[in-house]
Structure 1
């Protein structure tokens, strides 16, 4: 038996998909073949906010699942639109990698050590907003491309630093290239950052059963809270919204803590809020915190953003 796994062709995407394939092989003794699929996000070099943002890295892969070209697919969960996809099921959310952002800077510098006027690259409005909120006097530069391309902007001298997700570097074995791991108090990650989404057809009971063995309940609860918050805000993956949920042990058992931030590109003002509940209340927790943010004017801040 051979399962066909649809994936983007980038080094990070194939590494992530290869990790999932290995877990399925180990659990069931079946063969898994990676099938490379080109997406709109891969083919365009324009800023994500100009080419549609949400879904540009997943639409073609999802279509391949639906039309039977592949049996299932692996995505970076933060790239998935928050709405349900007709005909597809989120079969598994494996254990999450470190969700934090990192800085890669020239001369081994940290964010606080960068001189005023330093050029820091990112293509994320979320990062732009939170970087500017720190008031460090840095200049933000638009950044797209794969990990090698982005890091090359620093090593080649075009930029003083860039901000990336730590999870990707860890999966590629390049975590030691980061000069600083950014505290979520400074930089909350994107909802779902560091997590993977494994999708298959909703009516494919056999594949759903095979994939269920790699589902991690704590990770699923955390990303459910984060993505429900994003959906309630009616924001996409290119919106200036950061969110991070953690399952922790409390006095009465497991608790789910959710922190969120919404800002505009200037970083002023920024709205930060947090809330807690139980893992079984993940969706309700995300909705409740989003409603608190909206009551504070989050929709107006997000509405002011058009591009990084």
Structure 2
């Protein structure tokens, strides 16, 4: 392996989409400030970028990650920036998440025609999403809205809102607020979803800066790491790992650092649903920030005790909606 000298530009691997490049430029700017080194972006095409098939057809986690990790391991790039929610929970041999910068707002948002909220859309209106998690939680709200599968970058999905149905148009789409914030498109949002109604994907809104474990950048990137963000996403990803659920599973989780009796502590809440939102297991737990993985693990174990695994195995339930646990 060739380690670049201090005079050599650091090569940052990124997907080619506008959002991926924007996120990578944010990290590149921070790396330049903290290391005094030049950074150049290197575009890498992933499996998820080259197929128009539904993400669930790929088998879940890693569809946007594998090619970037290959580029890291074979030395084509020195670091890579991922949307943390896209990363598989299993460790990648030879690679280290060197930094998790301060997280953007992790909530989901609605962009609807005519400035409407979900509750204002007439029954039968179409809502576009490629996420089983979002679809299941929308069904659980019981608003009588139709879910339409949709793929594409942020610009493509925004362009579907209000377009004719014969052209693939929908009445609304779900997106992550974080992506719109980074792209400067917060003006498009018509409703921000309360986590009580829709828990985000584990790690949503956070970025992972990954490099080879033996690379000097592991130490150089340490100042970019935000301890509270890392604790929160470690807890959320522990929930996902213990549930053995990939990014295509209807699982939502959100951890927040809150003030406890003895200082900061983690408050973690999570939900598992059937695909049609008819049944759900919802639980929450709190614990020390220094034991983020343990807190998330204990929450997932509580959910498994309440039947979470059985729910994820059910392809469809009866139309009646029932919550198993508050």
Mapped to 2, the partners of 1:67 and 1:188 lie a distance apart of: 37
| Alpha-carbon distance change, 212 to 168 in structure 1, aligned in 2, over 3 angstroms | same
Give 1:192-231 correspondences, 5 Å limit.
Answer: 192-204=203-215, 206-231=216-241
Q: What's the offset of the Cα at 1:137?
A: 0.4
Mapped to 2, the partners of 1:230 and 1:195 lie a distance apart of: 16
Residue among 248, 254, 259 paired with 1:244:
254
> 2:184 aligned with 1:166, yes or no?
no
> 2:52 aligned with 1:45, yes or no?
yes
Q: What's the offset of the Cα at 1:264?
A: 1.0
Mapped to 2, the partners of 1:201 and 1:243 lie a distance apart of: 28
Aligned to 1:173, the other structure's residue is in SS state: coil
> 2:116 aligned with 1:135, yes or no?
no
> 2:68 aligned with 1:57, yes or no?
no
- Range 154-163 or range 76-85, more displaced: 154-163
Which consecutive unaligned segments of at least 5 residues does structure 2 have? Answer: 1-6, 317-326
Residue among 138, 158, 163 paired with 1:156:
163
CA contact (8 A) 1:240 1:262 kept: yes
> 2:297 aligned with 1:290, yes or no?
no
Q: CA RMSD in A?
A: 0.9
Q: What's the offset of the Cα at 1:251?
A: 1.9
Stretches (4+) displaced over 3 A: none
Mapped to 2, the partners of 1:53 and 1:269 lie a distance apart of: 22
- Using CA pairs under 8 Å that are at least 6 residues apart, name the structure with larger relative contact order, 1 or 2: 1
Q: What's the offset of the Cα at 1:160?
A: 0.5
Q: What's the offset of the Cα at 1:52?
A: 2.3
Q: What's the offset of the Cα at 1:300?
A: 1.3
1:143-184 per-residue CA deviation (whole Å, 9 max, x = no partner) reads 100011111111424201000000000000001101001000
Residue among 270, 279, 284 paired with 1:260:
270
Q: TM-score, normalised by structure 2?
A: 0.92
Mapped to 1, the partners of 2:171 and 2:194 lie a distance apart of: 20
1:113-150 per-residue CA deviation (whole Å, 9 max, x = no partner) reads 11100100000000011000000000000010001111
**Counterpart position of 1:77:** 84
CA contact (8 A) 2:162 2:172 kept: no
Q: What's the offset of the Cα at 1:304?
A: 2.5
Q: TM-score, normalised by structure 1?
A: 0.98
Residue among 36, 39, 43 paired with 1:36:
43
Aligned to 2:253, the other structure's residue is in SS state: strand
CA contact (8 A) 1:239 1:305 kept: no
Aligned to 2:221, the other structure's residue is in SS state: helix
> 2:100 aligned with 1:93, yes or no?
yes
Q: What's the offset of the Cα at 1:305?
A: 4.4
Which consecutive unaligned segments of at least 5 residues does structure 1 have? Answer: none
**Counterpart position of 2:195:** 184
Q: What's the offset of the Cα at 1:268?
A: 1.1
| Alpha-carbon distance change, 23 to 305 in structure 1, aligned in 2, over 3 angstroms | farther
| Alpha-carbon distance change, 281 to 305 in structure 1, aligned in 2, over 3 angstroms | farther
**Higher radius of gyration, 1 or 2:** 2
Mapped to 1, the partners of 2:315 and 2:204 lie a distance apart of: 21
